[in-house]
Structure 1
Amino acid sequence: YISTPFSRAAADFLNDIGVSAFKIGSGECNHVPLIRHIASFGRPIIMSTGMQTIDGMRPSVKALDDSGVDYALLECTNLYPSPPEIVSLQGITELKSAFPRAVIGFSDHSIGPEMALSAVALGACILERHFTDTRYRKGPDISCSMDPAELKFLIDRSREIHTALHNPKVRTAPEEDVYRFARGSMVADRDLPAGHVVTPSDIWARRPGSGEISVQHFDRLVGAKLTRAVKRNQQLLWSDLDGVKPQANS
């Protein structure tokens, strides 16, 4: 576990018992002397940034940079619970832009998983939520705490979003069968004789996409002379078109 010290004595105690990292709460986010003291232990630091502007945080972040420790900054709204009208998802992108060395996360006090999951899609790599074994308990933060089932949902869905977030815009191998069926191949739209000069009304694209010429090459075919006669709905080949160089489909 890790813990949040509010004083030098508490920080020293946590250091003595060997915590693996330190948490700095939003209330101490601008407490540069305490931040320096905690950073002197050389362990990673996670700092919440609620109630702070980007410029107001710069001295604290500089102290972390100067110490050389690894650190994360969490966007946070310090109201329990936090309604969407005051939650700042934009703060995640602003933190990423202002402090590129930091790992960026989200300390969420809203009700439900929506804000936290949205934060992951914006690049948050750490999620912090209050947790309770049952939300039938009484307490100041129970309304924005998650029970075991809710926390499991958040963990599972955030991992899925994080995985998908890193996938580039490409056609994947499992999509190949769908691609070959769903895309259109260039065909003759009526019977055409050899030597005919192709016009836009002579050709069209129809499924499946298994033909040599994809619909994306429609304009290249217009004006070409046919090297052989073709029937309506017959898939066209590059060799059917005089003077048109073959080109790969994408």
Structure 2
Amino acid sequence: MKDITIIDRHIGEGYPAYIIAEMSGNHAGDIQKAIELVHVAKESGANCIKIQTYTPDTITINSNKPPFQIKEGLWRGKNLYQLYGKAYTPWDWQGQLMEEANKVGIHFFSTPFDFTAVDFLEELGVEFYKIASFELVDTPLIKYVASKGKPIIMSTGMGTLGEIEEAVKAVRSQGNDQLCLLKCSSSYPAIPEDMNLRTIRNMAEIFNVPVGLSDHSMGSIAAVTAVAMGASVIEKHLCLSREIENPDASFSMEPHEFKKMVQDIRSAERAMGKVSYEISPNEEKSMIFRKSIFVVQDIQEGEIFTKENIRVIRPGEGLTPKFYEEIIGKRASKSIECGTPLRWTMISD
């Protein structure tokens, strides 16, 4: 699998998972909340804070005709223009948010939704890009982003294998091979039955790229499981509080939840370790509690060892149990008290 490098972080097999905190609309239209989210992302252990770069006018049109009406789900009753007007991050904030991210020491990047957003982010100096699941089929946009020669993290929610192949080809057609794919279930919130995390490893094998998870499910079990199954990136929505009304709050993590998820991911990575049959120093301390051969009745010199006067019991200070049957029938070379761990020097040749 080909690794990629984002600024100072390697992403791929064998490296710690790269954890992205997605701000999306969780600033609720307040730049102070957006700045606070940058700090909270850093404090919660994220490697990166991500925003989205669009306006209602760059992503749709203001129409109440049926195709533009949201008929079900969290945003039922609104048209697309109203939804995006409530959720978007004003462009005049984005330079300040990037500066804040640099100041606190966390990576910053964005999802552009049209060519003008890409141009704006290029002027801003972003060092990598995200392609959203809903833009997986927008090959002109993908090619334009890829032409900038910067790493791309691309979500694949709703994508068929054929559509993912077309999107990957679009990136590579621009001579850009710095790509990471994200498995994603584009429902809000996602349910475990729809997540199919086994696809992560298969996707990595098919496309020879790092693969991660864009996780819209509640809780952290999917994210931790995905890392254990080889995910190189985890993206999760972060909010200050689900009580702050905005289009993304209901499926976003609060700071204490996000921090716990990061801790659990790092614990899972340590537990995965490497292929090893070595005895660890901590295990070595426990070896005394193994079983071994002990004398359990007083034995006189020359007396025969029997199943009555020696037994395999804890602790592990005597001969290993594999010699038990070999010792039965041999004679004691000296007198031995009950409770003595058996040694070879106590057995006659």
TM-score greater than 0.5 by the shorter chain:
yes
Q: 2:215 aligns to what?
A: 108
**Following the alignment from structure 2 to structure 1, what is the Cα–Cα distance between the partners of residues 178 and 281?**
38
Structure 1: segments with no counterpart, 5+ residues? 244-250
Q: Please give the alpha-carbon distance, in whole angstroms, between the structure 2 residues aligned to 1:129 and 1:204.
A: 57
Letter in 2 for 1:136: E
**Which of 284, 295, 320 is residue 214 of structure 1 equivalent to?**
320
1:19 aligns with 2:126: yes
Is 1:95 aligned to 2:200, yes or no? Answer: no
Q: Give the Å deviation of 1:239.
A: 4.5
Contact 2:142 2:167 in 1 (8 A): yes
User: Which residue identity lines up with residue 192 of structure 2 in the other structure?
Assistant: P
Correspondence for 2:312: 205
1:234 is aligned, of 336, 340, 345, to: 340
Determine which structure has greater relative contact order: mean sequence separation of CA pairs < 8 Å that are 6+ residues apart, divided by chain length: 2
* Aligned residue type for 1:166: G
Within 1, Cα distance between the matches of 2:191 and 2:256? 22
Structure 1 residues 68-126: Cα deviation after superposition (integer angstroms, max 9, x where no partner) = 43222111100111122222222223223333x32221111111222222222222222
Where do residues 127-138 of structure 1 align in structure 2 (5 Å cutoff)?
A: 127-138=234-245
Query: Is the contact between residue 224 and residue 242 of structure 1 (CA under 8 Å) also seen in structure 2?
Result: no
Q: Distance in 1 between matches of 2:219 and 2:117?
A: 32
Q: Could you say if the C-alpha distance between residues 39 and 192 of structure 1 is closer, same or farther in structure 2, counting changes exceeding 3 Å?
A: farther
CA contact (8 A) 2:151 2:179 kept: yes
Residue of structure 1 in register with 2:181 after alignment: 73
Paired residue type of 1:84: P
Q: Tell me which amino acid in the other structure corresponds to 1:228.
A: S
Unaligned runs of 5+ in 2: 1-107
AA in 2 matched with 1:210: E
| Superposition TM-score, scaled by structure 1 size | 0.80
Q: Pick one of 97, 101, 110 that aligns with 1:3.
A: 110
In structure 2, the residue matched to 1:57 is 164
Structure 2 partner of 1:247: none
Aligned residue in 1 for 2:154 = 47
Quote the residue 2:286 is aligned against. 178
Alignment partner of 1:38 out of 145, 148, 156? 145
Instruction: Tell which deviates more after alignment, 73-82 or 182-191.
Output: 182-191
Provide the rounded CA distance (Å) in 2 between the counterparts of 1:150 and 1:60.
Answer: 33
Distance 1:229 1:52, change over 3 A: farther
Q: Give, in angstroms, the shift of residue 199 of structure 1.
A: 6.6
Alignment TM-score, normalising by the size of structure 2: 0.59
User: Cα deviations across residues 7-42 of structure 1 (Å, max 9, x unaligned)?
Assistant: 233223222321111001112224344323222222
**Please, which moves more after superposition, 158-167 or 38-47?**
158-167
State how far apart, in whole Å, the 2-side matches of 1:49 and 1:202 are.
69
Counterpart in the other structure of 2:271: 164
Cα distance in 2 for residues equivalent to 1:239 and 1:54: 69
